[in-house]
Amino acid sequence: MNGIQIKNILTPIFGLVATFLATKLNYFGVDQATWNTIVSTIGFAIVSAILGFFGKTINLMDTVGAQPGTTVVTTPQNAAALPANPDVIAATPQVNAAIKNATS
């Protein structure tokens, strides 16, 4: 598993834990259903924002790599997260040397 997969797995789990705690904690004198709705809404909005933030880079690489005549050079973890896109490659010493030679 790479870091992106781990983040995508853990983020909803944190949201579920927050929702569970919301059912057990009652602040501000509101009933449990209202409190659960408030915390769940805020918690899942935060989870959605985090998933969007973490997925933004991967989606951009996948989209750009799919364009004809383009190749995306990225970290090995990001390249491993997009195995179906052969135009997204990991930055290895050989790739870095080839890019340096091509631009010199």
Each residue of 68-80: pLDDT tens digit? 888 888 888 878 8
For 2, other C-beta atoms within 10 Å of its C-beta total 13
Domain ranges of the chain: 3-103
Count Cβ neighbours within 10 Å for each residue of 84-97 and write b for 16 or more, e otherwise.
Answer: ebebbbeeeeeeee
Cα distances (angstroms) measured from residue 95 to each of 53, 68, 102: 28, 20, 10
**Neighbour count for residue 103 (Cβ, 10 Å):** 6
Alpha helices for the chain (secondary structure H): 3-24, 32-65, 76-81, 93-103
pTM: 0.43
Q: What is the pLDDT of residues 29-52, one digit of tens each?
A: 777 777 777 777 887 888 788 877
Instruction: Label residue 61 exposed, middle or buried (CB < 10 Å: 0-12, 13-18, 19+).
Output: buried
8 A C-beta contact, residue 88 and residue 65? yes
